[in-house]
Amino acid sequence: MEGKTLLILILVLFVYSLIGGAIMMALEQSNEETATTDITTTLSTFLTDHSSCMTSSELSAFLTEVRDAYDSGVLSVNGSTTAATQWDFGNSIFFVLTAITTIGYGNQTPATKGGQAFIVIYALIGIPVTGLMLAGLAEKIKKLNSYFTNKTIPYLEKYTKTEKGLKYFSIYFTICCLLILIPSAIISAIEGWAYGEAIYYSVITFTTIGFGDFVVGTETKGGTKIVYKLVVIIWIFTGLAWLGALIGECTETAKAFTEKKEKKQVKNGSDIDDTYEDVNTKTDVATGDLAKVA
């Protein structure tokens, strides 16, 4: 890739980031301000009503304990202290797999020094291995895509561009249904989320952004939870491999386009040089300067 092309991409990404930041601020800031006002009013009213038995510092300490308990998974949303543990075997496997895939939802984090040290070493080893495995899966998916794109569609043999476009649309629409639309409907039914929230979770997971505001299996318990999370893990790895294949194809297409453009520029420059030399030669012949022609 030429330096000019790289600089253009950097500039585009910079502008894209500015636009994205501005849009997110416009969408989210007013809601944040409203939430801040509401909780400030609620706390102020609570302290006023219970000023005889609780001080501001005591309330702050109590809320800190509640927050820590919730983050540790020992306190559910409804206030029950019988919430499912975050560190049973199924959840622990799910945690390490989201770590080595770099999703890292953030809703579950190690609190002990030993756990923190272990996951650092574990991730440093696991991430490259996972990357290699996903690259291998992506290569298989690309070959499968090539198999279908090389198939001839009846009655469209003469219309190569139409046939090619229809093939790609059919393949990627089918994959989108199998990996995003249908699984999102199932997750929505199991988790009680809106369908749009389930799609949001799927895309955020496959792109390894992993905000952690939506995470599957946090309310389910027992053997069903283990089976459910196992299926989700297989789905996540399949989706990551497909996304890797898609990114690889897009990268190869962009690279081929850039190289073709660069070769064309070089060829045009060479043609101009050749034309310039021919003009000079003809000029020398016309003026009788045979030494230069020789």
Mean pLDDT of the chain: 81
**pLDDT recorded at residue 20:** 78
| CA atoms in the 13 A half-sphere facing the CB of 119 | 20
Q: Which residue has the higher pLDDT, 10 or 198?
A: 198
- Per residue in 268-280, pLDDT tens? 766 655 555 665 6
- Please compute the mean of the pLDDT values over residues 70-85 and round it to a whole number: 60
Q: How far apart are CA 278 and CA 199, in angstroms?
A: 63
**pLDDT category of residue 192 using cuts at 50, 70 and 90:** very high
Q: Which residue has the higher pLDDT, 153 or 133?
A: 133
Q: How far apart are CA 127 and CA 104, in angstroms?
A: 12
**pLDDT recorded at residue 177:** 94
- Per residue in 205-261, pLDDT tens? 999 999 888 999 877 666 677 788 889 999 999 999 999 888 888 888 788 877 777
As given in the structure block, the two tokens for residue 37 are 């006002």
**pLDDT recorded at residue 290:** 46
- Per residue in 280-290, pLDDT tens? 655 555 555 54
Most confident of the following: 58-67, 196-205, 256-265: 196-205
The answer to which of 27-41, 73-87, 154-168, 229-243 has the lowest mean pLDDT is 73-87
Find the largest Cα–Cα distance for the chain: 113
**pLDDT recorded at residue 225:** 76
Q: What is the DSSP string of 18-61?
A: HHHHHHHHHHHHHHHHHHHHHHHHHHHHHHHHTTTT--HHHHHH
- Please compute the mean of the pLDDT values over residues 38-43 and round it to a whole number: 89
As given in the structure block, the two tokens for residue 38 are 């509401």
- Please compute the mean of the pLDDT values over residues 12-30 and round it to a whole number: 82
- Per residue in 103-124, pLDDT tens? 988 888 887 888 999 999 999 9
**pLDDT category of residue 293 using cuts at 50, 70 and 90:** very low
